[in-house]
Amino acid sequence: MPPKSARIAFTLVELLVVIAIIGILVALLLPAVQAAREAARRNQCKNNLKQLGLANLNYESARGHLPPSARIDLSVTNTANNTSWGVHGRILDYLEEASLRDLVDLELGWDVQPVIDAVRVEAFHCPSDSKADELRVFDDDRPSLWPTTYGFNFGVWFVFDPTTKERGAGVFYPNSDLPLAKITDGTSKTLLSAEVKAWTTYQRNGGPSNTAIPETIDEAATVVASGGEEKNTGHTEWPDGRVHHTGFTATMKPNTFVPYTDANGVEVEADYNSWQEGKSGSAGEPTYAIITSRSLHPGIVNVGLVDGSVQTVNDDIDLTIWRAMATRAGDEVVAAAP
């Protein structure tokens, strides 16, 4: 009789060895895949900032000045919450969103214009911030809004005084008509925009009588805690012109964790706005703000400069340099950001 053919099979040990090898390969490849994906998201983020920069330059070229952060009627003492559009809404024409711009009226509050309900402008969102995908749904008749993860430069600490009409040192402030020629520190050395996190907790409407700029995290935390009203909705209203929704300030370095214990007893990173610019009930109080630039990119934030270029700024940038980059006419000497 012919011999029976031998059966070919893996032993249990061989199978376990193969599984172990596959596991090692996956463990080696997964970080590389994640790093590649983050690199792609970071590049998309920089591209978004580039688009915002070019949109502002085209706005300035067409109108002779950069857009204001808001238009506030200072002849009245009471203004509604959402009467003025911010920079995001004013540059829609220059972001290939002309059809949307044709449907909105910048002379009316955004909160009475249902045409923007759940409208998503992709250039307003960093793909690394998953909270930018959480729709803001209001419990009144206001249209639902997607957050934004890009803020415009409102300066260092002081933003605006409705009584004296004094404005902050940044590129954007209420009722501005700022031409590029007034940015004497140089358009290639002055911040236009920077990343911010969606759904940031902040305190508003209150603060210490001492308005000296905070110099340390502890001082900033004390200022944040002094606010009179807690919100966890920072940067969730892209049409709004107030600094806690569509701006940032350079009070603290990028990605600084300013601690605040919220109403649930949880320590979170937080921002601060002493008074909402033009908000009724502020009794003419000036606005001071700690709205920190933050991102989900490890160790860095992406920023846009006034000349339309985009840079990556490390978290450990010197605070003096960071603040100097946020002034339009401070006459500081600023080296290239690390």
Give the integer Cα–Cα distance in Å for 28 and 203. 43
**pLDDT (average), residues 182-197:** 97
pLDDT at 7 over 70: no
User: In the chain, what are the helix, strand and coil shares in percent, each to the nearest 5?
Assistant: 30, 15, 55
Looking at residue 11, its pLDDT comes to 81
Q: What sections of the chain are H helices per DSSP?
A: 12-63, 87-90, 98-103, 217-225, 243-246, 319-325
**pLDDT (average), residues 97-126:** 94
pLDDT digits (tens, 9 = 90+) for 76-106: 655 544 568 999 999 999 999 999 999 999 9
Give the integer Cα–Cα distance in Å for 20 and 243. 53
pLDDT digits (tens, 9 = 90+) for 28-81: 766 766 666 778 899 999 999 999 999 999 999 999 999 999 988 877 655 544
Looking at residue 283, its pLDDT comes to 58
Looking up tokens 């059809």 gives 99
pLDDT mean across residues, the chain: 90
**Does 334 or 75 have the greater pLDDT score?**
75
Q: What is the DSSP string of 177-244?
A: ---GGG-TT-TTSSEEEEE--TTEEEEES---S--PPP-SHHHHHHHHHT-SEEEEEET--TTB-SHH
Instruction: Answer whether 278's CB lies under 8 Å from 84's CB.
Output: yes
pLDDT at 128 over 60: yes
Give the integer Cα–Cα distance in Å for 80 and 116. 19
**pLDDT (average), residues 230-241:** 96
Looking at residue 207, its pLDDT comes to 81
Evaluate if pTM is beyond 0.85. yes
pLDDT at 289 over 60: yes
Backbone angles phi, psi at 302, to 5 degrees: -90, 140
Which residues pair with residue 145 across a beta bridge? 136
Q: What percent of the chain has pLDDT over 70?
A: 88
Which residues pair with residue 136 across a beta bridge? 145
Instruction: Answer whether 233's CB lies under 8 Å from 164's CB.
Output: no
